[in-house]
Structure 1
Amino acid sequence: MTPGTVPLLLWSALVVAAAESGGEREIRALMEEQMRALMEEQMRALMEEQRGMRALMEEQRVELRHTKAQLDTMETRLRASEKLVQQLRSDIAGNLNLMGSQMEELRRKREERRVAFSASLITSGHVSVGPANTNLTLIYRNVITNIGDAYNNKTGIFTAPVRGVYYFTMFIYGSGHNWVSVGASLSKNKEHVVIAYCHLPHGKTSASNGASLLLEVGDQVFVILYTDSWVRDSYNHHTSFSGHLLFPM
């Protein structure tokens, strides 16, 4: 049944009732009253429907505001997460660089602590050094080992690269002579430490000595040939100078 069907039926009923009563005035008044009541009822229904629609729209509006708030919160969290990821990436890169620097420093220090050398006077042939009327620094030109490059075969001087305790040995070889000895001393910064010495009137002779020394960075250790002494060396490397780092300090 359509909305217009009810008023039409009511109208028909009113016409019939009025005709039966025979009063035209009563019919008009009754019709006006019924129409007014019908219109008021329809107005109330429309207003109620409008109130329902407004309430529904308000609910949807509130729901949309809530959804927007949730979206804003999610966007804020997403931005915070992106910043956190960027910070973590930056921290990781910084830590990797720091670890690389630390590893390089450890490698450098490890390399510095690898110090050892051995050298003899000559590579081949035969040579005698001395005697002289003054002390001479023996220059061991034939480098056998020089880990850390702390020994200089052009000056005969070992220079400490790190602070620590080092152990040095020297072996000397020579010919006996009535007035020429075979003798040399281990020196630290021109300060006498130990001596290797022998004196025979004839024949071949040799001597050796060694010492552990606490050296600061830059301290120098070398071997001095005594005045009026000589040493000899050959391809057999009789006369040698060696040293190595025992431990850093």
Structure 2
Amino acid sequence: GLKAACPAPRTPNALTTGHRSSPGQNDTEPIILEGKCLVVCDSTPSSEPAGNALGMSVRSGSGRVAFSASRQTNHEPTDMSNRTMIIYFDNILVNVGTHFDQESSIFLAPRRGVYSFNFHVVKAYNRQTIQVSLMLNGWPMISAFAGDQDVTREAATNAGLVIMEKGDKAYLRLERGNLMGGWKYSTFSGFLVFPL
């Protein structure tokens, strides 16, 4: 029968340590060319739209999902965040796939997978306590707080991995306190680690 063939590796970093399949075997390994997995060959056809009868799927650019945003302007005070409790980021640094909506500051997952998020939200004044949560469809997944009464530029920061389904929403919510500022120090970033 027909069998998908993977190209030969061109760099020492390619996955060459595993066994090589004989023509009678059905399992092959992904080959990495110059650090990028171009073609994935599998014995079972992929469930992705790119899959075909050969069991070969090509990773297209649509699989690349990453965003990073900061609070560019000096919000004094942050009326929008204090009213809606969503922390807004008005400066896009990276938005590969355009799945982070700048207007709402909400990330919309384009596919099921493991996603990595991190945030760093700076309070502007002392005697302020803020608590920030990474929200997934309205539920807090991870939280952080900044509550030192003697520190002016203190940050609530955390990071973690979450499994998201297609269409899930992730954003930051101000759980406690008032976000009195931000400047360029507050950031919110995320990316697709791998699809499921």
- Aligning the two structures, in what range does the TM-score lie when normalised by the shorter sequence? 0.5 to 0.7
1:162/1:131 Cα in 2 relative to 1: closer, same or farther (>3 Å)? closer
Q: Which amino acid aligns with 1:245?
A: L
Partner of 1:152: 101
- Give the number of aligned pairs: 143
1:44-193 equivalent positions in 2, closer than 5 A = 110-122=60-72, 124-125=73-74, 127-129=76-78, 136-178=85-127, 180-193=128-141
C-alpha RMSD of matched pairs (Å): 2.7
1:239/1:231 Cα in 2 relative to 1: closer, same or farther (>3 Å)? farther
TM superposition shift of 1:195: 1.0
Structure 2 SS opposite 1:138: coil
Partner of 2:185: 238
Partner of 1:196: 144
| Counterpart contact for 2:80–2:88, Cα < 8 Å | no
Structure 2 SS opposite 1:230: coil
1:182/1:112 Cα in 2 relative to 1: closer, same or farther (>3 Å)? same
The whole-number CA distance in structure 2 between the counterparts of 1:225 and 1:110 is 36
TM superposition shift of 1:139: 1.6
The whole-number CA distance in structure 2 between the counterparts of 1:144 and 1:131 is 21
The whole-number CA distance in structure 2 between the counterparts of 1:158 and 1:113 is 15
Q: Which amino acid aligns with 2:105?
A: G
TM superposition shift of 1:132: 7.7
Partner of 1:211: 160
Partner of 2:174: 225
The whole-number CA distance in structure 2 between the counterparts of 1:114 and 1:193 is 23
Structure 2 SS opposite 1:170: strand
| Counterpart contact for 2:131–2:177, Cα < 8 Å | no
The whole-number CA distance in structure 1 between the counterparts of 2:74 and 2:125 is 20
| Bigger fraction of residues in helix | 1
| Counterpart contact for 2:123–2:179, Cα < 8 Å | yes
Q: Which has the larger radius of gyration?
A: 1
- Alignment TM-score, normalising by the size of structure 1: 0.51
Task: Return 5+ residue gaps in structure 1 as ranges.
Answer: 1-100
Structure 2 SS opposite 1:232: coil
Give aligned-pair identity as a percent: 26
TM superposition shift of 1:233: 1.9
Deviation string 1:129-177 (CA, Å, 9 cap, x unpaired) is: 2698766111211100000111000001000001100000000111343
The whole-number CA distance in structure 2 between the counterparts of 1:177 and 1:209 is 20
1:112/1:198 Cα in 2 relative to 1: closer, same or farther (>3 Å)? same
Task: Return 5+ residue gaps in structure 2 as ranges.
Answer: 1-48, 52-56
| Counterpart contact for 1:118–1:242, Cα < 8 Å | yes
Structure 1 SS opposite 2:181: strand
Structure 2 SS opposite 1:112: helix
| Bigger fraction of residues in strand | 2
Structure 1 SS opposite 2:110: coil
- Alignment TM-score, normalising by the size of structure 2: 0.64
| Counterpart contact for 2:122–2:185, Cα < 8 Å | yes
